[in-house]
Chains A and B, each alone.
Chain A
Amino acid sequence: MAYHKFDVVIVGAGGAGLMAACQLAGNTSVAVISKLYPTRSHTGAAQGGVAAALGNVEEDHWQWHMFDTVKGGDYLVDQDAAEVLAREAVDAVYDLEHWGLPFNRLPDGRIDQRRFGGHTRNFGEGPVRRTCYAADRTGHMILQTMYQQSIKNQVRFFNEYLALDLLMNEGAVNGVVAMCLRDGEIHTFHAKVVLFATGGYGRAWRITSNALACMGDGMAIAFRRGIPLEDMEMYQFHPTGLYKIGVLLSEAARGEGGILRNSEGERFMERYTPTLKDLAPRDMVSRAIIQEIKEGRGVMPTKDAVYIDLTHLGKEVIDSKLPDITDFARTYLDIEPINAPVPIQPTAHYAMGGIPTDIEGRVISDEHKTVVPGFYAAGEVACVSVHGANRLGTNSLVDLIVFGRRAGKHIARTLHEMDYVPLSKEPEGFAREMVERIRSRDKGEAQIHIRNELRDEMMENVGVVRSEASLLHAQKKLVELKERFQQVHIQDKGKTFNTELMEVIELGFLLDCSAATIEGALARQESRGAHYREDYPKRDDANFLKHTLAYLERDEIELRYKPVTLGMFEPKERKY
């Protein structure tokens, strides 16, 4: 067993993890563990931009951004967190610029800004240009810039280490157990503070924009150690995933003027959201697309897609502002977006829910906001909650940089109060047993059947539209899949770079995240944001203006609830 000791251990090397690491490196012993090389993290796939009320192109105020975030999240947003997000976005964007991020510029040299779904001027009057961007590869640029800063600050990386377990003793978090992929060795990291920034779990659905790495690792690891997961039923489907493969076509395509059309060529969003039309929030656009398909106005032989039409934008706009995404259409569908519309489908995209934290990034364990000593989370793995029931486009990158930064700064400020809580005896025992159980099984089922059936089940029954019947079906299926998972067999028994073993461990994580999603969705008998129940089509503030907390207790999921932090903006009906 290898043993390491660092004041701070960060798991995950995407935008949030690196942002936190850069606040700490130099003054603190900090290690970043990542199951990929840092530049492979899924932050790099984010396209459209990062919102901040700089007001460079037209009048804008952080209060407007905050309002849009709260309303976009269908009022399930904690307003203290939304205020922090909108206020600090401005400074965080300037930080990125100072670190060299190559934002697109206005002729006078300031950062250019563009429109994005749900971002409005003057509390909902019409679209506003708030989104800072670097072509349609803003996430790539944030990830590169943060990695560059990590090198400058000499952050210590453990690349290609798969996290397996969170260590706790005396009620505090005191380390992490991870497996080095290169030689299969188990490593124990003893720490004063652990920060999880491991991202989401979009791979639970058949059609997804998420990387193969997005398997819910951090959420499931914490969940198994008694940490709750908040609002897991709130999962966002992005309206415009590339037909069949789900690769994202950024909302920037609509921000720049792209139009959704059904099989009759109609701009159908005019009927659903007359003010913002194609730039309505994602939950509404995804539902509208599903409705069009249901009423027979889908396109392609399968009739389960609609078109995004960019042909009127012209070659110059497409080439300068949307080069990457139009390249995806050419590469994967053999379609030239300058001349022809591109078929798209809603694609599983983003977890609004996750490990509950306060606005400093500290993980909390219950409805009374009790802090778990030594444990932080930031980014998609966390639920602050700034996205509530539906995240606005570009607010994910804002979340990473604002709350990654805050968590890092808070750790830096308070680390002197923290001690190394002693490790328990054989700290790696639980992880080692999990690994060996899988490796030593000499017969059983291949993982692929479980993986495929899970993704189909989640797509059919826990997707854009849900009902009690669909969710009960999924609940039953999950019990079956979890049982079968206990008998999974792998062919690769080796130590060196065993990705088959890694995939099975990850599948276990994915099953736990999916189960929490289904339970939360079943209990939430209302429709709010991304969670749409056809048997309860209205929002029900009297009974459900509250956050779900799911706990794993002896293999059963138990639900509790936590009030929403209200504030400046009273819950109102959500119209666009």
Chain B
Amino acid sequence: MELTVKIKRFNPDVDKKPHWETYHIDADPMDRFIDVLNDIKWTQDGTLTFRRSCIHGVCGSDAMRLNGRNQLACKVLVQDLGAKITVEPMLGFPVIKDLVVDMDPFFHKYEKIKPYLINDEQVPTTERLQSPEERDRYEESTKCILCGACTGSCPVIWANPEWVGPASIVNAHRFIFDSRDQGAAERLSILSDRLGVWRCRTVFNCTEACPRGIPVTETIEEVKRALIYGDTKTE
């Protein structure tokens, strides 16, 4: 099918502000949208710039705003986007060039919530035990690929880029609810400050944007409940 792809472009070497550019290209309805972007880059305009790597939805490089919704360009098919497609970099992130945004602030916020297992006990010679039920408790939040689609879709972040954001909370949840972890109190105290979970307005944009199907809003709510009721290791 014949596509009209309108892309928001910005190259700091030559542009003062962003502008739109339109490309016409033929694509198979079953093509991934990342295939279309590659085709444009390889056959029409080598200057078009975007990140990509695994191109099947597991590395998290190519989150962008497609027809107004944050998605991974490799996880959406042309047939689901239609013949007219608008492409923008994610909102809420500084733009480096075209669709490439600065992810450093995002990763700094991730680091702040201590995203690693905290447990100072002597380790056993074999594995620590964890029941399948205990594992299920945090299974969903382990799926996060740190693509930023949730954070970039959040109106709270648009208003205040300093906010910790949904992705960091999901990754805090991943440890707070892990029966082997002992760092819940430290993380909860970070998340209870003025840039923590309470700024979430339960808009559900993050849940809709997550390409991994993580119930992000619910995850944030569980962290809020843990702050109120203090119980993290049981249902």
Contacts and interface: CB of A to CB of B under 8 A. Distances in A.
Contacts, number: 154
A131 interface: no
Interface stretch (B19-27, B96-104, B190-198, B219-227): B96-104
A491 B48 CA distance: 10
Interface centre among A36, A41, A103 (most CB of B within 10 A): A36
A44 to B, nearest CB: 6
Interface size class of A (residues with CB under 8 A): 35 or more
Contacts of B145: 39, 44, 140
A102 B142 contact: yes
Contacts of A414: none
Chain B at the A interface: SS class:
loop
Given A37-B103, A99-B117, A140-B58, A494 B53 contact: no
Nearest to B12: A496
A332 B29 CA distance: 11
Contacts of A103: 127
Contacts of B125: 94
Interface in B110-146: 111, 115-117, 123, 125-132, 134-135, 138-139, 142-146
A110 B127 contact: yes
Contacts of B144: 144
Interface residues of B, number: 59
A91 to B, nearest CB: 9
Contacts of A111: 127
B47 A44 contact: no
Nearest to A103: B127
Contacts of A100: 116-117, 175, 178, 180-181
Nearest to B106: A37
A302 to B, nearest CB: 14
B47 A45 contact: no
B123 A151 contact: no
Interface string A19-56: 00000000000000000110111101100000000100
A448 B54 CA distance: 19
A94 B126 contact: yes
Interface stretch (B1-9, B37-45, B153-161, B202-210): B37-45
Given A102-B139, A494-B13, A211 B47 contact: no
Contact of A151 (B54, B56, B111, B134): B111
Contacts of A41: 59
B187 interface: no
B179 to A, nearest CB: 9
B53 A496 contact: no
A98 B97 contact: no
A152 interface: yes
B115 A151 contact: yes
B53 A102 contact: no
Interface of B: 11-14, 30, 32, 41-43, 45-47, 49-61, 75, 77, 96-97, 100, 103-104, 107, 111, 115-117, 123, 125-132, 134-135, 138-139, 142-146, 175, 178, 180-181
Interface of A: 36-37, 39-42, 44-45, 54, 93-94, 97-100, 102-111, 134-135, 137, 140-141, 144, 148-149, 151-152, 159, 182, 211-213, 245, 247, 324, 328, 331-334, 446-448, 451, 490-492, 494-500
20 contacts: A36-B61, A39-B145, A42-B53, A42-B59, A45-B54, A45-B58, A97-B127, A98-B117, A105-B132, A109-B130, A110-B126, A151-B111, A245-B32, A324-B58, A328-B57, A446-B46, A448-B43, A492-B46, A496-B11, A500-B46
